[in-house]
Amino acid sequence: MITPDFIERSNRKTLSLAVMKDGNVVVKAPISVKDEIIRRFVEDKQNWIREKLYLINQTKAKFDDVTNYKKFMLYGNKYSLFLSDVRKIEVNDNFQIVMPRKTEEEKILKNLKTWYKKTAKQILSDRLAFLESRLRLKSQIMKISDSRGRWGSCNSKGVICFNWRVIMLPPRVIDYVIVHELCHLVEMNHSKNFWKLVEKFLPNAAELKQEIKEYGFLLTTFN
């Protein structure tokens, strides 16, 4: 039987189970619940746990070269890093991110992160403006964040933040992130009304909601 890696007890009233991005199985339980009840709870969830772990391992294998910084994601594609006689970082049609040859090895990832952030600000700003026009929704300010836990956020003042790593996602998923946050200008929650609004603009929102989960590991890159 697959056993929990962590059991977190608190004043909560119910048991819950989660398989984290790193493969750890976490149970959240009320303080008073006996270990035997937790054991039976986890035992009943074995098939679900195995399915989640299988999907995580598939993703790890598929993107092993990305997590090891041998490839770099951009618009849902994998790019190789290539050093050449250029003055600044460029992207070519051969799925290469070209960096100045003189770049010191220890500065490669730092410079790439800076380039990603700058590129993200321009790309996401342009795409946000386009979708705002189409959806007839208007934010007040767009900011670029370096969050490790979320792709985007929107507050009650109309300030929308996008994780710079969003540009690593496929274009259709980038649009999903943007539309998701724009809909929070109307519904500051994840209620049924919120999801109805998202689906109004993106009929395949449920599919995209699942797809973005595959890329969750990207949120911890360049940390």
Q: Which pLDDT score is estimated for 190? A: 95
98 inside domain = no
48 and 150 fall within a common domain: no
Task: Please tell me the predicted confidence (pLDDT) of residue 23.
Answer: 86
Same domain for 58 and 111?
A: no
User: What is the span of the domain harbouring residue 36?
Assistant: 6-62
Give me the average pLDDT of each 10-residue run along the chain (223 residues): 94 93 91 94 95 88 93 97 95 96 95 97 97 96 93 96 98 98 96 96 96 92 90
Domain assignment of residue 120, yes or no:
yes
Tell me, rounded to whole angstroms, the distance of Cα 86 from its chain centroid: 31
* Domain contains 36: yes
Q: Is residue 97 part of a domain?
A: no
Assess if residue 89 is contained within a domain: no
Q: What is the pLDDT of residue 152?
A: 97
By three-state DSSP, how is residue 204 classified?
coil
In a domain, 54, yes or no: yes
Residue 182 near residue 135 (C-beta atoms within 8 A): yes
Check residue 159 and report its DSSP letter: E
147 in a structural domain: yes
pLDDT at 57 (0 to 100): 87
User: How far, CA to CA in Å, does 177 sit from each of 29, 68, 138, 182, 211?
Assistant: 32, 25, 15, 9, 11
- When divided into structural domains, the chain yields a total of 2
124 and 190, same domain (yes or no): yes
Read off the CATH number of the domain in which 203 is found. 3.30.2010.10
74 within a domain of the structure (yes/no): no
Q: Same domain, yes or no, for 120 and 55?
A: no
- Asked if residue 125 and residue 34 are part of one domain, the reply reads no
